[in-house]
A = this chain, B = another copy of it.
Amino acid sequence: MTESYCTVCKERESFFYRKYSGQRLCKRCFSKSVEAKVRATITKYHMLEFDDKLAVAVSGGKDSLSLLHILSKLQKRRPKTTLIAVTVDEGIKGYRDEALDIAVENCKTLEIPLHVVSFKNLFGLTLDELITKIRASGQKTGLTSCAYCGVLRRRAMNVAAREVGATKIATAHTLDDEVQTVFMNILRGDITRLSKEKPVTNQVHPMFVRKIKPFCEIPENESALYAYVKKIPFQDTPCPYASEALRNDVRAMLNNMEEKHAGTKFTVSRAMERLRPIIEQATIKGDFKTCIECGEPSTQELCKTCEMLHQIS
């Protein structure tokens, strides 16, 4: 048996070397292993009740579509779990419109309903219009486009999930996303947030739909490879507003570390699993009020979303 055969089935030719486990895998055993890992992650973190109605956040990129395909497969073993894809249309010309078409196409193939909510409908303006307005006003808010979009997108996703009666939201954050966020939070000195980014969010308020991250132990390159192996159509052009310089630096550093010391990302992720409850217990939780403007839950009188919308109006 030569090195070119799959370590698992020992029959088919390998096409991928998983450095952190030492395995060489064929396409079939690779896909099966990713699906098994997602299943194990869902079990490990008690992500799903048997009768959950799960809103899957679909952007149209490789990660969210790989997740949708895998969850659709797993659903066959969980007949009481229902899936609905949810896409937030921020209103980014030449980018999100294309991604939406791809999301529609995938949902059709998988026979999963798709619910779309737009910034325009929810907040009265598209991200394009919002960014144009900010740039025109010459305001120096110190916030990147991603910061605005992130706050509004999280709100939109939560509203969408409630609209479809979802009991949970699944997002396709990968191991890489999680570990990058750990380092970004430390570099920004945000200790409290270290405990908030977790595989299953707490039910902090009845109006927040809990989020689960079934890909939190799947490396990003494997999520991409899964989409490639399964010939899943996805959008691979980057967002024209992408501006998270810090994340890019952290990503490069972590990929470099992983290259030299395979398994580093898993090590950090496991360390955070131990650290998170310690911080959580020690951190004083703010009470949730109701935003005086939109009625959504907020720790401040005026929620972050309304604050941002005020800023630019």
Contacts and interface: CB of A to CB of B under 8 A. Distances in A.
Interface of A: 182-183, 186-191, 194, 245-246, 249, 253, 256-257, 260-261, 264, 267-268, 270-271, 274-275, 278-279, 281-282
A11 B271 CA distance: 52
A271 B191 contact: yes
A264 B279 CA distance: 22
Contact of A189 (B188, B189, B253, B270): B270
Given A186-B271, A282-B278, A256 B264 contact: no
B275 A279 contact: yes
Q: How many copies does the complex hold?
A: 2
A261 B246 contact: yes
Q: Which of A187, A188, A275 has the most CB of B within 10 A?
A: A187
A264 to B, nearest CB: 6
B268 A257 contact: no
B253 A191 contact: no
Contacts of A281: 282
Contacts of A183: 183, 186
Contacts of A275: 191, 194, 279
A178 to B, nearest CB: 13
A268 B182 contact: no
Contact of A191 (B186, B189, B274): B274
A171 B149 CA distance: 46
Main secondary structure of the interface of A (DSSP, over half): helix
Given A187-B257, A245-B260, 15 more contacts: A186-B268, A186-B271, A187-B261, A188-B267, A189-B267, A189-B268, A189-B271, A190-B271, A191-B275, A249-B257, A249-B260, A278-B278, A278-B279, A278-B282, A281-B282
Contacts of A256: 249
Contacts of A194: 275
A176 to B, nearest CB: 14
Contacts of A190: 271
A303 to B, nearest CB: 26
A221 to B, nearest CB: 19
A13 to B, nearest CB: 32
A129 B234 CA distance: 59
6 contacts: A183-B186, A187-B261, A187-B268, A191-B274, A191-B278, A249-B260
A281 B186 CA distance: 20
Counting from the closest, the 6 A-B pairs by CB-CB distance are: A189-B271, A189-B267, A253-B253, A278-B282, A191-B275, A191-B271
A90 B189 CA distance: 38
Contacts of A245: 260
Contacts of A271: 186, 189-191
A275 B264 CA distance: 22
Contacts of A268: 186-187, 189
Nearest to A267: B189
Contacts of A257: 187, 246, 249
